[in-house]
Every structure is written in structure tokens, then in C-alpha cells.
């Protein structure tokens, strides 16, 4: 085997194992590894190094419009660091990567993201993160799609977006990152009308997700009915709706009779079981003055639970997150 050519490797290889452990523990998380052309021996050494997990990484701008990065796990607040130094490292995984932009710095954000995209393309790297949270995709479908494609589709598990337009959803839903993701969370602080006639997303763009969270603060009775009917007509794995439905649940489900198979009173509202287009699937929707939650699961298991007098939703069958 050809000996590695870099002096760094020779020095590292000469250290006793106990010294290597101490050095690795003391090294800064961001500068632990450097991407470079290396020999097979060096790659084997790198493979043995532990994976660094950064719980949350925030990309934002300060009051002066400067690019700032905050890495909570490394105890660095508003410290300028390079994204490429973090994401070019195959041994670093970021659990949550958040893009933030304040009101007056939209252009600054996109300028920085364009630089990042160009640098990542030139170095042939992808950003590695499990959850990506965007807060500025209101009306920039091309930039949104380009930014999402910076990420490695093999590791991204969740995409969170604030108030995307129909055009933005249509654009990013064509990317491999979107298609390979398991969960999407769409948030809107102002109350987006998710399936209203004036602003509706194509439901086919969401069919592959195992879980869909819609954090919508304002829904009318008609909008809630449209939303439920859209979900009712599509077979999915799991999804959850979170709204502030300060309306009577009876008004929502009046139009669904006699499709309601079972209705049950719960502590702060009512639980309705609706029939589905797919005979093997069923939709349960819980409504209250605080929230509305919907979960699809196997009908056979649910009917068995009803017959046995047990709880309606079985934890082993359904993934249901806490509020």
C-alpha cells in the first residue's frame, strides 16, 4: 500500500492511542476534519473517527446585516464561521439547520445562499442535515428550489417551510430532496388558507410523505371541510393537523354523514372516525377548541380495537407526535 503523502498524517500516526483520544476530544468541532485529496490509508483513518452531531445550526443576519452563524452545541453564539467548513465534512451531521432572515435583509440572505450554492457546486459537496427549516420562501420558487438542492437528499428527513406559495411548493416538490424526504411541516404565522380556492397546493405533491404536519392558525369551517376531504381522498401513511379551531366540531363534520363510522367524546372535544376511499385505510380526526389532529392507519387494526373496547389508535401502528 502506498504511504500517504501528507505530513499531517505522518505526525498523527506517530501519536500513541491515548494521546490521540485526548487530542480528538480537545479539537474544535468545526475544524476537526478537513476535506482533501487523500490516500486509501488516510480515508480508513477518517472512517474510524467519530461522527460529530450538531443539534442545531442557525443561519441568520444580525442587526447590521452581517452573516452570522450560531452553533448551540459548540457554545458559540453569533460567531462567524464557514458553512463549507461544517458541511464539507462527511463526519459531521447537523440535526436541525435553520435559515432565518429578518425583515430588511432578504437580498443579503439570497446573496449569501447563492455564494454557498456556487461554492458547494465547485467543491462537489452537499450540506448534510436531517431537518431543514426555511423562513423566507414566500415568493421565491427558483431560489427555494436551488437552495434545497444544496442538501444531501440521502440524509434529509424533514423540511419545514414558512408560508410557501403555490409556485414555491410546485418548484421544490420536483427536487430529489423533497421526493426523498419523509416529513414536511408547513407553518404560517398569519394563517395560510391551505386548501382554500384562492391558495391551494396540489395534494399529489405530498403523497409520498410518511407524515405531514400543517401548522395553520386560522381555518374557517369551509376550509377545514375542504382540507379533510382532500386528505380523505388520498392514501397516505401518517399525518397530523394542528390548528386553532375555535369553532364547533359539529359544523365541520355535518357534511360527512353518514361517512362517520364512530364518534366518541374526549376530554376537550370529540374524536371522529371517517371512512376512506382506500378500503384498507381510515382517517381519525380529533377536534377540540384547541386543536384538530388527523391520523391515517390500518382499518383492520382499528376495527379490532373498537370491537375489543380498547383505545382507538394503537401506538404500535400510528406515529402521533405530542402537541
pLDDT in tens, 117-152: 777 777 777 777 777 776 655 556 777 787 788 888
Q: How large is the average pLDDT for residues 214-219?
A: 48
Least confident of 149-163, 178-192, 288-302: 288-302
Task: Reply yes or no on whether the pLDDT at 165 is more than 80.
Answer: no
% of the chain beyond a pLDDT of 90 = 0
Q: Which pLDDT score, from 0 to 100, does residue 274 have?
A: 53
Q: Which pLDDT score, from 0 to 100, does residue 65 have?
A: 43
Task: Reply yes or no on whether the pLDDT at 90 is more than 80.
Answer: no
What is d(CA 260, CA 176) in angstroms, rounded to the nearest whole number?
A: 38
If you average pLDDT over every residue of the chain, what do you get? 56
% of the chain beyond a pLDDT of 70 = 20
More confident residue, 309 or 190: 190
More confident residue, 31 or 164: 164
Q: Which of 92-101, 121-130, 295-304 has the highest mean pLDDT?
A: 121-130
Per-residue pLDDT band for 182 (boundaries 50, 70, 90) equals confident
The domain 7-244 is classified under which CATH number: 3.30.160, 3.40.50, 3.80.10, 1.10.30? 3.80.10
Q: Which of 12-16, 95-99, 258-262 has the highest mean pLDDT?
A: 95-99
Q: Which pLDDT score, from 0 to 100, does residue 194 have?
A: 38
Cα-based torsion angle of the residue sequence 67, 70, 75, 80 in order, rounded to the nearest 10 degrees: -20
Amino acid at each position: 500500500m502506498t504511504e500517504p503523502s501528507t505530513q499531517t498524517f505522518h505526525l498523527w500516526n506517530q501519536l500513541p492511542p491515548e494521546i490521540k483520544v485526548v487530542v480528538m476530544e480537545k479539537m474544535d468541532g468545526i475544524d476537526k476534519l478537513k476535506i482533501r485529496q487523500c490516500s486509501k490509508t488516510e480515508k480508513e483513518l477518517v472512517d474510524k473517527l467519530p461522527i460529530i452531531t450538531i443539534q442545531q445550526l442557525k443561519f441568520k443576519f444580525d442587526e447590521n446585516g452581517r452573516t452570522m452563524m450560531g452553533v448551540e452545541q459548540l457554545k458559540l453564539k453569533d460567531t462567524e464561521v464557514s458553512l463549507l467548513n461544517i458541511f464539507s465534512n462527511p463526519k459531521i451531521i447537523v440535526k436541525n439547520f435553520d435559515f432565518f432572515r429578518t425583515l430588511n435583509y432578504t437580498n443579503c440572505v439570497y446573496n449569501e445562499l447563492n455564494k454557498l450554492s456556487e461554492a458547494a457546486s465547485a467543491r462537489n459537496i452537499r450540506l448534510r442535515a436531517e431537518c431543514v427549516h426555511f423562513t423566507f420562501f414566500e415568493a421565491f420558487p427558483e431560489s427555494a428550489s436551488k437552495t434545497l438542492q444544496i442538501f444531501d437528499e440521502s440524509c434529509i428527513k424533514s423540511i419545514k417551510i414558512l408560508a410557501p406559495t403555490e409556485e414555491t411548493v410546485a418548484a421544490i416538490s420536483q427536487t430529489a430532496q423533497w421526493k426523498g424526504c419523509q416529513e414536511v411541516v408547513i407553518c404560517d404565522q398569519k394563517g395560510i388558507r391551505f386548501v382554500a380556492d384562492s391558495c391551494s397546493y396540489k395534494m399529489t405533491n405530498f403523497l409520498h410523505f410518511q407524515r405531514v404536519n400543517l401548522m395553520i392558525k386560522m381555518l374557517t369551517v369551509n376550509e377545514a371541510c375542504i382540507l379533510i376531504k382532500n386528505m380523505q381522498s388520498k392514501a397516505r401513511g401518517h399525518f397530523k393537523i394542528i390548528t386553532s379551531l375555535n369553532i364547533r366540531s359539529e359544523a365541520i363534520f355535518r357534511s360527512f354523514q353518514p361517512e362517520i363510522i364512530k364518534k366518541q367524546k374526549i376530554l376537550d372535544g370529540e374524536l371522529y372516525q371517517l371512512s376512506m376511499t382506500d378500503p384498507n385505510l381510515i382517517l381519525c380526526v380529533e377536534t377540540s377548541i384547541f386543536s384538530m389532529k388527523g391520523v391515517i392507519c390500518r382499518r383492520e387494526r382499528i376495527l379490532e380495537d373498537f370491537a375489543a373496547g380498547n383505545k382507538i389508535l394503537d401506538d404500535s401502528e400510528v406515529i402521533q407526535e405530542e402537541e
